[in-house]
Amino acid sequence: MSLKIKVPEVGESITEVTISQWLKADGELVEMDEVICEMESDKATFELTAEASGKLKIHAQEGETLEIGALVCEIDESAAGSSGQEDTASEAKTEATEAKTEAPSETSKDTEGAIIEMKVPTVGESITEVTIASWLKGTGDHVEMDEVIAEIESDKATFELTAETSGELEVIAEEGETLEIGALLCKITVGEGAPVTTNEQKKEAASPNPMPATATDGTTNYATGHASPAAAKILAEKGISADQVKGTGVNGRVTKEDAQKAKVPAAKPAPKPAAKSSPAPEKSSGVEGREQTRKKMTPLRKTISKRLVQVKNETAMLTTFNEVNMKPIMDLRKKYKDSFKQKYEVNLGFMSFFTKAVCLALQEFPAVNAQIDGEEMVYNDFCDISIAVSAPKGLVVPVIRNAEQMSFDTIEKTIVSLATKARDNKLSIDEMTGGTFTITNGGIFGSMLSTPIINAPQSAILGMHNIVERPMAVNGEVKILPIMYVALSYDHRIIDGRESVGFLVRVKELLEDPSRLLLGI
């Protein structure tokens, strides 16, 4: 029986993917859930695993772009466990390896000195240009085939550029330069004995690692000692080669976690200077003490700028404010935080209270949880709460799915998990897609009051701020209380003043009397 494996759905806005590389060869036996290839979209890299054990038959070659649902490969389940077929596949693989290694010396002489031009590859259907983020190798450096030599950025993600052959590198495009797809990046002068690698030869290659390390179970194959793209990037930054790291992934594959745990060698060689330019921002000349520094915007920052301006121009955005007495919540946290952490192994923070309060208020004011789609208004009977997190490469907004069904400890654990992934740049596309309402906390940076911008296509966003002790009039007496100002920015096209003000007042009531959150009243 032959099982067909197709391109899975990897994100709401992703319609096609590119086969980055095969970790298994055609005709090779694979195990269920074993990683067999890597696929790239215009936003991230994904791993494709075998859905059954058997003999692999590849239909899509490396570098080929496929639509979602297209056939990638087949697995002949009847071949699983068949020693005869396994021996045949092994013999075929050995013969293919021998055929490649027994190339006559004349071929090496013919390819020696040849110049290979490397151009900007196609990285996504909607991406027309990229920016050279950094060169990991400079002009005159010797590079190995498949070695990462540069990083390029688009307005959606960062990609790695690998050498197409071994030889001496000549950098053409400078760091910070923006190029169109197909533009010349660099040249590689093929070294002695290094074959010129065509796309067809790359597709036939069974493994980029000529001498793989031994897997944890004592066996070796393509994945053994091979670093994933994310792991390779981390190892390159640390100056560690993949064969110096013991892989804990499938068949000894080096994962990102392995790379993060890898220790930097004691004597790390000094990096060679870049060939053409320095990544440091340029300083303009002028009067001493009045210098200006110019730094080019990254593609990601350009996209953020366009989206924020688009929201301001296309929505009727207003902001309403209120204040919350945080003393009841602070007293509750102080009383139960130790017991809460001991039982659930997570801290009891403010975000779980705000998330629960927002979910209850959204159910009472459904317009705040809705969005406009063309000439229709879409109302959601679920609460997918987006939490704004400041990540190294910019602001990201991971989503807590069905937050209205979660308990306090589940919300806290989910927030910690998403925030950790965001700071480690490990969030998946699915974890950042969707959301019906957003919460942002500028108070952790000391903000007293702000007007947050709506996270389109949502219709509202709640802004939290710092907690400051202020004199307040309570039953005719002046008391010093911990007060937080809260702001609700909303799209007036779908949310009227009654809903916006009523929603924020309801959130205030729930926070100032936390027992209401437990009773749902």
E strand or H helix at 106? helix 105-111
Burial class from Cβ neighbours inside 10 Å (0-12, 13-18, 19+) for residue 335 reads exposed
- 141 as an active site residue: the answer is no
Beta-carbon neighbour count of residue 67 at 10 Å? Answer: 10
- 142 as an active site residue: the answer is no
Could you give the dihedral angle defined by the CA atoms of residues 105, 140, 136 and 174, in that order, rounded to the nearest 10 degrees?
-120
Question: Residue 93 has which token pair?
Answer: 């693989």
CB–CB of 125/149 below 8 Å?
no
Question: Residue 182 has which token pair?
Answer: 């197909």
Catalytic hit among 331, 409, 492, 513: 492
Task: Mark 460-494 as b/e (b = at least 16 C-beta within 10 Å).
Answer: bbbbbbbbeeeeeeeeeeeeebbbbbbbbbbbeeb
Three-state DSSP class for 16? strand
**Cα angle for residues 66, 70, 76 (degrees, 5° grid):** 120
End-to-end alpha carbon distance in the chain: 57
Catalytic hit among 33, 87, 338, 496: 496
Measured between alpha carbons, how far is 446 from 165 in angstroms, rounded to an integer?
A: 52
Three-state secondary structure of 166-201: CEEEEECCCCCCEEECCCEEEEEEECCCCCCCCHHH
Active site members: 492, 496
